[in-house]
Structure 1
Amino acid sequence: MERNIALKLMYNGTAYHGWQVQKNAVSVAETLEKALSTVVCHPVKCTGAGRTDAGVHAEVYVANFRTTSTIPCDRIPLAVNTRLPNDIVVVKATQVPDSFNAIGSCQKKEYTYRLYNSRLGNPFYVDRAWFYPKRLDESVMRRAASQFVGTHDFRAVRSVGTETRTTVRTVYYFDVSRQGELIECKVCANGFLYNMVRAMVGTIVYAAEGKLAPEDIPAILDSGNRTLAGPTVPPGGLYMTRLWYEEDVL
């Protein structure tokens, strides 16, 4: 009998070309599928909670696959982890209803973007946070971030890549906090466009630099013009940090 298994995992994305399987680049999905297929003894296709770009990390990620293997769920994480490189770890495996789909069943997602805002760099944050030496005022970033909350057309903050039926999304919160030199930007939405979080962070950094006013952001979103918003910030500071499902897969 075929089972549908959901995996909760985490990964450091530095060595990978994102989640999605690609012809000539190493991806997280392909690495995971290879390890899984040796555990269940047949080829495996994983569906992931979303496409993370090259170099982006996931503190929480969910994928599902189908298998005819009878291996108990509680044995899967250890069995797979011994066959995975140490920058990908499966934390939990759960049998889920046949209708469950890691991307389709996901109600909302949270990404966290980290900036290391200090005059001097920190070797422990290389590829883990964006080193930004000029002092940023997080209160201005917070004011700018609040302008993105709500249901809007987010065309102005996406890179042209994957075509989507609609560019309208709902952002539930966009919070900015600072602890010492580290600034964290947490964004939760019902879905994200290609590079949307990185462009939103670039826009609030532009606001902190005085290149645009926080109050300009609604007009930028209305215009749909990508060139009016801030730059797409580097991928190393971005993490998928929370996912919401009805099923108990986390």
Structure 2
Amino acid sequence: MRNLMFKVAYDGSKYHGFQRQDNAWTVQEAIEDGLKTLLKEDVKIIGASRTDAGVHAKGQVFNLKVDTPIPVERFPLALNTKLPRDIIIIDTIDVDDDFHARYNSKDKVYSYQIYNNNIPSPFVRNYAYHIKRKLDLNKMREGASYLIGKYDFSSFRSAGCNAKTSIREIFSIDIEKSNNLIVIRIKGGGFLYKMVRIIMGTLIKVGLNKIDPKGVQKILLAKDRQQAGPTAPACGLFLEKIYY
């Protein structure tokens, strides 16, 4: 029996998140269906991150224990022929038997895209949040600086989050702009349910001068979800990379 680790990229627009659900089409179900066709047996994969409906991934990871002679270098090509075109296996490697995609992960990087122009673009509508008014990136960077470190992120924790603790650590938040596209990258040891999207919604309000940059620190210390900004739309969020 082999333990295989897969790196996968997907467009989450048509899926109700990564994790398999009873009454909704998910990325996990699509992958498991493809694996069943390829391997001629029922399989269950272990995903590293439960991305929400509409969220995309460039570096999602899952592992699978299976008895197969398929070489790792051929696995991506073979499995991709069995998957929808919006899900692509990037890489496959053999790992130790005790490797677990979720429990062994250490740090994660997410990015959030904003199309900042008064006229929307039809080409990024599924991959960026369109905001008409010009955002003040310097104020957003200042606001983001107050979130760097290890804190209680209860103010950025969505209802329905079942995490045992709301203590999390953010290592960096970088904000860049190219033409009309703003990309915000956030790296942390782990994130609460919809935490990244709530942070983005809050920073957007800072960029629109609706929240003072120093107000982000007050929101953080308040430990009150009602103090933070709205949850930003899922379309702009990408799971970039998972570190092990």
TM-score of the alignment, normalized to the shorter chain, above 0.5: yes
8 Å contact 1:40–1:67 — kept in the other structure?
Answer: no
Q: Distance in 1 between matches of 2:47 and 2:19?
A: 8
Q: State the secondary structure of the residue aligned to 2:117.
A: coil
What is the aligned partner in structure 1 of residue 47 from structure 2?
A: 48
Q: Distance in 2 between matches of 1:176 and 1:158?
A: 22
Unmatched runs of 5 consecutive residues or more in structure 1: 246-250
Q: Distance in 1 between matches of 2:98 and 2:151?
A: 30
Deviation at 1:20?
0.6
What is the aligned partner in structure 1 of residue 160 from structure 2?
A: 161
8 Å contact 1:114–1:182 — kept in the other structure?
Answer: yes
What is the aligned partner in structure 2 of residue 149 from structure 1?
A: 148
Q: Distance in 2 between matches of 1:148 and 1:22?
A: 33
1:107 corresponds to 2:106:
yes
8 Å contact 2:169–2:188 — kept in the other structure?
Answer: yes
Q: How many residues align?
A: 244
Q: Distance in 2 between matches of 1:87 and 1:215?
A: 41
Amino acid in the other structure paired with 1:216: G
Identity across the alignment (%)? 39
Q: Distance in 2 between matches of 1:175 and 1:147?
A: 13
Deviation at 1:41?
2.0
Deviation at 1:148?
0.7
8 Å contact 1:145–1:176 — kept in the other structure?
Answer: no
8 Å contact 1:41–1:69 — kept in the other structure?
Answer: no
Deviation at 1:59?
1.0
Q: Mapping of 1:64-83 within 5 angstroms?
A: 64-83=63-82
Q: CA RMSD in A?
A: 0.9
Which stretches of structure 1, 4 residues or longer, exceed 6 Å deviation after superposition? none
Q: Distance in 1 between matches of 2:52 and 2:145?
A: 25
What is the aligned partner in structure 2 of residue 4 from structure 1?
A: 3
8 Å contact 2:134–2:208 — kept in the other structure?
Answer: no
Deviations 1:3-24 (A, max 9, x none): 1100011000001001010001
Amino acid in the other structure paired with 2:147: F
8 Å contact 1:40–1:71 — kept in the other structure?
Answer: no
Q: Distance in 2 between matches of 1:99 and 1:214?
A: 44
1:229 corresponds to 2:228:
yes
Deviations 1:198-232 (A, max 9, x none): 10011111112222211122221122111110110
Q: State the secondary structure of the residue aligned to 1:207.
A: helix
Q: Mapping of 1:178-217 within 5 angstroms?
A: 178-217=177-216
Q: Distance in 1 between matches of 2:4 and 2:40?
A: 15
Unmatched runs of 5 consecutive residues or more in structure 2: none
TM-score, normalised on structure 2?
Answer: 0.98
8 Å contact 1:10–1:61 — kept in the other structure?
Answer: yes
Amino acid in the other structure paired with 1:199: I
Amino acid in the other structure paired with 1:135: K
Amino acid in the other structure paired with 1:200: I
